[in-house]
Structure 1
Amino acid sequence: MKINSSHADHVSHGGHGGARPGGLSVSESGYTLEFDSTILSTGTQTVTFRVTGPDGQPVTEYTPEHEKELHLIAVRRDTTGFQHVHPVRDRKGTWSVELALEPGDWRFFADIHPAGHDGTLTLGIDASVAGQYDPQPLSNDTRTAHVGAYTVTLDGELAPGEASDLTLTVSRNGRPVTDLQPYLGAYGHLVALRVGDLGYLHVHPESAPGDGTTEPGPEITFMATAPSGGTYRLYLDFQHDDAVRTAEFTVRATSATRRPDAASQAAPEHNTGHHHGHHAQHAQH
């Protein structure tokens, strides 16, 4: 199943042509993400926040994107703890959601399309979770993820400023999964975060379940554009047997002109901004 994404524009909100990912700012186009507290406790808790509009008032009308008015992504700054959740909004515009948080510095992303605005926005905010922080090292190049009995493999390269296909293949106990269930209107949901500043790429398959051509696995293919070279963490959400699971990868965006084919393994170059794609690193989740 090959599904291209019509949402490559999530790489750059506001028409920056891929030069700037989303989620780097708490405010954009007059819309601001406001948490009731940016100092949080350890463990499972309810987090509340709102999005204010150009008039300074909480936004209460949204255009749903991928079946939800707001997608909230939570991730610790060391790229662990990824969570993709869908808060509940009250009539006054306050959102609430239950999250399980470990000590450390966290980044939260709100992916929204305010009613009347000309497109989607991704707003980002930092918060601190109290407690002893044990940051984890970034995983090495990872093209295979294990999630319980499931194995997900990643094929394809991220290229700075170039659209490219990323194909993820899902199997369980060594057998291809051919009955993936729709999740948020698709068979997969992919988030990529740029390591260093957690610049946010959010990509969905273009084809949809039930369109007569899209098969429910084992392959899910996204079209993505990296805004720059560097290391990215990729988080794939997929649903099977009525449960949503997340597979994580580390990928490095490399220049197509310097990237060898899969059979070639040249040593990576340092301090040039060009690295060989087979040594990629990944988001996300």
Structure 2
Amino acid sequence: MADQFASPGGWALSGGGSPPGDRSADPASPMGPDRATLRLALVVGGLVLAVLLGFGLGRANPGPRTPTAADAASAAGDHTHAPGTGAHQHDATAGQGGTDGATGLSVTSDGYTFTPSGGEFTAGRAGELRFQIRDAQRRPVTRFAVVHDKPMHLVVVRRDLTGYQHLHPTMATDGTWSIPLTLSQPGVWRAYADFTALADDGRQTAATLGVDLVAPGGYTPRPLPPVATDTTVDGFAVGYAGTPQVGVAVPLRFQVRDGSGPATLERYLGAYGHLVVLREGDLGYLHVHPDPAPTADRVTFWLTAPGPGNYRMYLDFKVAGVVRTAEFTLTVR
């Protein structure tokens, strides 16, 4: 199609014509470039302007980028516990990839792997558990944060939720943890390593990893004891008030009494009690810590049930220098 427009002087261009007196169409004319050159210059200039505008807009709105290590650290947050830390719960909401809040369901999580060496036990006979925590490059981890007075909490229980033990292994310089361990009855047992690893860049990752241990022999699972809110252990009456709910933090207020009234609780691992909760079936794990101090001779734990089901609660408490464990069955609907 021919280009056509009126000039200020009233003349018009159509096709390749020239206005009166125009000398640019004359090849010999020294007065500047012809119309084709002008068009090329305009096109190139427009492209340059578009590139410059696009660059400016891109700088104003850079769009998605690849996350950095600093971003990951900021998103995950540090997991530290100063003295007097308030009630809290260790579960997947603190960083692990669980689906409903329970942890300890996998041997690997958040780039760390629970790697036992051996693991064969004879029921009722003293043995030893040795293991390492390895990172994503399969290197033994040797740096751990001290959480509630210990760098490693090891919980062992048979798969019918009997035989509960809360232990604290020691670590060699090569990252190998060891602890004397007796599995009292034949069967499959679950060992949970509850720890906070320190990465080379200083990031802290709280994790709970689980692995099965086997004591060969005839295994007859025991049914869970009936649901109850009170029990006795070594002459102490232990009870609690509160009804756990799915996905809601609910206070459970525990009281320990001896023959003369409320018992005087002592600090154990930096707190006035520890509560481990295990779910029947998949043995999903929750580790709960209480408010900093008892209130009216009761210790309060805030428990968030990850889902409906039957649970077994294990309350560790210390009186007169001795640590005892009170156990409860509960059903969350």
TM range (shorter): 0.7 to 0.9
After TM superposition, the score normalised by the length of structure 2 is 0.70
Give the whole-Å Cα distance in 1 for the aligned partners of 2:232 and 2:308. Answer: 26
Task: Provide structure 1 residue ranges, at least 5 long, that are not aligned to the other structure.
Answer: 208-213, 255-285
The answer for the alignment partner of 2:112 in structure 1 is 31
Q: For residues 81 and 24 of structure 1, do their structure 2 counterparts lie closer, same or farther at Cα, with a shift above 3 Å needed?
A: same
Please give the residue correspondences for 1:206-225 in structure 2 after superposition, counting only pairs within 5 Å: 206-207=291-292, 214-215=293-294, 218-225=297-304
Give the whole-Å Cα distance in 2 for the aligned partners of 1:249 and 1:108. Answer: 20
Shift of 1:180: 1.0
Q: Please say if 1:191 is aligned against 2:283.
A: no
Shift of 1:132: 2.4
Please give the residue correspondences for 1:117-136 in structure 2 after superposition, counting only pairs within 5 Å: 117-136=203-222
Give the whole-Å Cα distance in 1 for the aligned partners of 2:98 and 2:248. Answer: 11
Equivalent position SS for 1:197: coil
Shift of 1:148: 1.1
Give the whole-Å Cα distance in 2 for the aligned partners of 1:184 and 1:245. Answer: 13
Q: For residues 121 and 20 of structure 1, do their structure 2 counterparts lie closer, same or farther at Cα, with a shift above 3 Å needed?
A: same
Q: Which has the higher helix share?
A: 2
The answer for the alignment partner of 1:21 in structure 2 is 102
| Paired residues of 2:240 and 2:252 also in contact (CA < 8 A) | yes
Q: For residues 232 and 215 of structure 1, do their structure 2 counterparts lie closer, same or farther at Cα, with a shift above 3 Å needed?
A: closer
Give the whole-Å Cα distance in 1 for the aligned partners of 2:295 and 2:319. Answer: 10
The answer for the alignment partner of 2:135 in structure 1 is 53
Shift of 1:8: 2.4
1:115 to 189, 193, 198: 198
Amino acid at match of 1:172: D
Shift of 1:144: 1.0
Equivalent residue pairs, number? 245
If you compute each CA radius of gyration, which structure gives the higher value, 1 or 2?
Answer: 2
The percentage of counterpart residues that share the same residue type is 40
- RMSD of aligned C-alpha atoms? 2.0
Q: For residues 130 and 98 of structure 1, do their structure 2 counterparts lie closer, same or farther at Cα, with a shift above 3 Å needed?
A: same
Shift of 1:16: 5.9
Shift of 1:143: 1.1
Give the whole-Å Cα distance in 2 for the aligned partners of 1:240 and 1:18. Answer: 37
Q: For residues 147 and 167 of structure 1, do their structure 2 counterparts lie closer, same or farther at Cα, with a shift above 3 Å needed?
A: same
Shift of 1:215: 4.1
Shift of 1:206: 3.5
The answer for the alignment partner of 1:231 in structure 2 is 310
After TM superposition, the score normalised by the length of structure 1 is 0.81
Task: Provide structure 2 residue ranges, at least 5 long, that are not aligned to the other structure.
Answer: 1-83
The structure whose RCO (Cα within 8 Å, separation 6+) is larger is 1
